[in-house]
Amino acid sequence: MFCRVLENPQRGNLSGSRAYMDNQVIERVKELEQRSLLTATQASLTNASGEEIERLALLDTLTELYNSRTFNKEIRDELKRAKRYKRPVSLVMVSVDGFKDLQRTYGALTTDAVLKVVGSVLRGVVRDVDIPARYSSEEFAIILPETNASGAMIVADRIRTRMANAGVTHNWHNLKVTASVGVAAFPTHAREHDELLGRCIQALETAIQKGGDQVASA
């Protein structure tokens, strides 16, 4: 192998140039994907009717789950209801493992495809009374009324299992993604909505620190 390299001194340079060009093409594709995504979002808002604008105000347009603003209102309302009737309510938070690495490697449209799969998994798990939301760019939250901590753990593990089994195919990439899940419950772990959210985030971080594809409780 060493002799062949010496006989073809330009091969290394050619390979290096080809790799550089491939990287340039990949970066260009990512840039165009991001522009396309922004243009599509702007067009959807421009062409929306009054009823659609009201719907967009409540939902995350990518995943069709509730958005973070709706979630923040609903978690307050559910805690008030739980206190009034002395009933349990739980919160589950979900994060895609290695999301930022996926974004750097495959670009915005592929990670959007991943987030859509997460949204689909959550819609397939929750009941009609549950409130699934996209909490941040890569994190999701589900409010589970009338559900104690042990019941929420069952739901959380079901989400983790379905995510591990769900494949994502986009732009000739076949991806397997996993999720970390955190659980906290009222009144077991917290009595106020901000405390409940904080405890659930801590549980989620614990699951991530353990290597991902884990469920952790507050």
Q: Are residues 22 and 81 in the same domain?
A: no
* CATH number of the structural domain spanning residue 113: 3.30.70.270
Q: Are residues 63 and 22 in the same domain?
A: no
Q: What is the pLDDT of residue 10?
A: 46
Alpha carbon distance 99, 136 (integer Å):
12
Q: Are residues 36 and 69 in the same domain?
A: no
> Using one digit for the tens of pLDDT, what is the confidence trace for 52-95?
666 668 899 899 999 999 999 999 999 999 999 999 999 999 99
Q: Are residues 43 and 61 in the same domain?
A: no
Domain that holds residue 64: 57-217
**Strand, helix or coil at 143?**
strand
Average pLDDT score over residue span 151-172: 92
pTM: 0.75
Tally the domains of the chain: 2
Q: Is residue 52 part of a domain?
A: no
Please enumerate in sequence order all residues whose Cβ is within 8 A of that of 150, keeping only pairs 6 or more positions apart, or say none: none
Q: Where does the pLDDT of residue 157 fall: very low under 50, low under 70, confident under 90, or very high at 90 and above?
A: very high
> Using one digit for the tens of pLDDT, what is the confidence trace for 3-23?
333 334 444 444 555 554 545
Q: Are residues 39 and 73 in the same domain?
A: no
State the maximum Cα–Cα separation within the chain, in Å, rounded to a whole number.
83
Q: Are residues 107 and 192 in the same domain?
A: yes
Give the ranges where 10-168 is alpha helix by DSSP (H): 11-46, 50-58, 68-85, 99-106, 108-125, 149-165
> Using one digit for the tens of pLDDT, what is the confidence trace for 20-49?
454 555 455 445 444 444 444 455 556 655
Q: What is the pLDDT of residue 47?
A: 62
Structure tokens given for 40: 């599509």
Alpha carbon distance 122, 96 (integer Å):
13
